[in-house]
């Protein structure tokens, strides 16, 4: 029996795409997808349609973000009458507001569905104990780790979230000189063997050049990812880049400077940003951390993670992290501060972080 897959859409379209990617093959051989969105998430809905290749003509339903009555009315008058009477129904409510999810599910549940029609719901639990999962309303795991089997593409992730990567030429207002300047921003790069060797060597010394610290971070992350890949072939779907320039899509006339990320790892679809500074000053490191978590989430969505690699003293590290956690309003720790004491065994620290904190093992 075919399935009608109904998905609510919010301002973070990446997990909706991830759920669609898995559910389209998990549910049935024939899946029809419908998207419930609001006027404020029309752009996200369109980007989802673009990246969900087989649903360019999917039916979409615009409703309210916060008015329960309007949501239920739209579902009752437009969506439900269009559903076939001989297909199963699956509602995935990771995206959108709580009102959209609750009222969409409730309206369909309250409708007198034919006795032969099976209805299920699911949710992508990004904070599950062993990595992000998709669970149904009976707590069954439909997908045990949603990062597995996803081909990593930083370009597609950026596009889904409304950004584009270099190469591009961009003109912006530079406050320091009081005029507009034009910058050529290259595409994301992989380091050469010589640069990796220089980075590894620098980690064992006293680094004053931030670029060498970036090389060292890239080299250490690369070694950690390769080690995990050798241990588990399901963890070989990753990408690693240095010097990633990012701007909003179609921002050719923007006067805002593009942002640059030092090292970016893509674990299936989860972004990890490593921001590097040779500074050990608490205020500068804290400012670097605020920028790192903001930029990582802009590019990779709510489940992106960031690390600031710096020279901060080991005894200052937990206090800076606590301040950042408080100011970002996070119940978990999406951002970590790593001082000079971790440099010499940096690959081992990345290896433990990936396995323990991100369950990439």
Residue 331: what pLDDT?
A: 59
Residue 329: what pLDDT?
A: 64
Residue 207: what pLDDT?
A: 78
- Give the model's confidence band at 160: pLDDT under 50 very low, under 70 low, under 90 confident, else very high: very high
The Cα 79–Cα 34 span in angstroms is 9
If you search the block for the tokens 């963890």, which residue do you land on? 235
Q: What share of the chain is helix, strand, coil (3-state, %, to 5)?
A: 40, 25, 35
The Cα 259–Cα 298 span in angstroms is 11
Residues 248-254 have a mean pLDDT of: 75
The Cα 290–Cα 248 span in angstroms is 19
The string of pLDDT tens digits covering residues 272-291 is 999 999 999 989 999 999 99
What is the percent of the chain with per-residue pLDDT over 90, rounded to a whole number?
A: 74
The string of pLDDT tens digits covering residues 88-115 is 999 999 999 999 999 999 999 888 777 7
Buried b (16+ CB within 10 A) or exposed e, 118-141: ebbbbbbbbebeebbbbbeeeeee
The string of pLDDT tens digits covering residues 337-355 is 999 999 999 999 999 999 9
Residues 26-54 have a mean pLDDT of: 89
Per-residue pLDDT at 332 exceeds 80: no
Residue 63: what pLDDT?
A: 95
What tokens does 301 get? 């969505």
Among 97-101, 142-146, 317-321, which stretch is predicted with the lowest mean pLDDT? 317-321
Strands 270-276 and 259-267: antiparallel
In sign, the C-alpha dihedral spanning 186, 161, 288, 208 is negative
Per-residue pLDDT at 253 exceeds 70: no
Residues 165-187 have a mean pLDDT of: 89
Residues 297-302 have a mean pLDDT of: 94
Residue 55: what pLDDT?
A: 60
Residue 57: what pLDDT?
A: 63
The string of pLDDT tens digits covering residues 55-86 is 656 789 999 999 999 999 999 999 999 988 88
The string of pLDDT tens digits covering residues 190-222 is 999 999 999 999 998 777 789 999 999 999 999
């Amino acid at each position: 029996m075919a399935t009608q897959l109904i998905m609510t859409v919010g301002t973070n379209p990446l997990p909706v795409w991830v759920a669609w990617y898995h559910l389209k093959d998990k549910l049935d051989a024939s899946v029809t997808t419908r998207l419930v969105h609001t006027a404020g998430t029309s752009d996200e809905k369109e980007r989802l349609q673009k990246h969900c290749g087989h649903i360019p003509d999917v039916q979409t339903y615009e409703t309210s973000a916060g008015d329960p009555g309007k949501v239920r009315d739209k579902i009752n008058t437009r969506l439900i009458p269009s559903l076939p009477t001989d297909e199963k129904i699956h509602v995935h409510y990771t995206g959108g507001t709580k009102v959209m999810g609750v009222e969409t599910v409730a309206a369909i549940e309250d409708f007198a569905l034919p006795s032969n029609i099976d209805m299920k719901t699911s949710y992508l639990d990004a904070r599950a104990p062993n990595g992000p999962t998709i669970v149904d309303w009976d707590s069954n795991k439909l997908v045990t780790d949603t990062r597995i089997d996803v081909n990593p593409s930083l370009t597609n992730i950026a596009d889904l979230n409304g950004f584009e990567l270099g190469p591009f030429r961009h003109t912006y207002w530079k406050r320091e000189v009081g005029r507009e300047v034009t910058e050529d921003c290259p595409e994301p790069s992989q380091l050469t063997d010589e640069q990796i060797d220089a980075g590894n060597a620098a980690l064992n010394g006293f680094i004053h050049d931030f670029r060498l610290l970036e090389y060292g971070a890239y080299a250490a992350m690369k070694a950690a990812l390769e080690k995990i890949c050798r241990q588990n072939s399901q963890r070989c779907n990753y990408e690693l880049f240095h010097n990633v320039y990012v701007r909003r899509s179609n921002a050719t006339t923007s006067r805002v400077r593009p942002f640059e990320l030092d090292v970016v790892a893509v674990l299936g679809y989860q972004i990890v940003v490593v921001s590097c500074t040779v500074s050990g000053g608490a205020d500068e490191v804290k400012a670097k951390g605020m920028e790192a978590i903001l930029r990582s989430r802009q590019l990779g969505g709510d489940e992106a993670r960031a690390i600031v690699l710096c020279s901060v003293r080991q005894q200052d590290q937990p206090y800076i992290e606590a301040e950042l956690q408080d100011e970002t309003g996070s119940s978990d720790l999406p951002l970590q501060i790593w001082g000079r004491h971790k440099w010499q065994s940096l690959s081992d620290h990345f290896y433990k972080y990936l396995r323990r904190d991100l369950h990439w093992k």
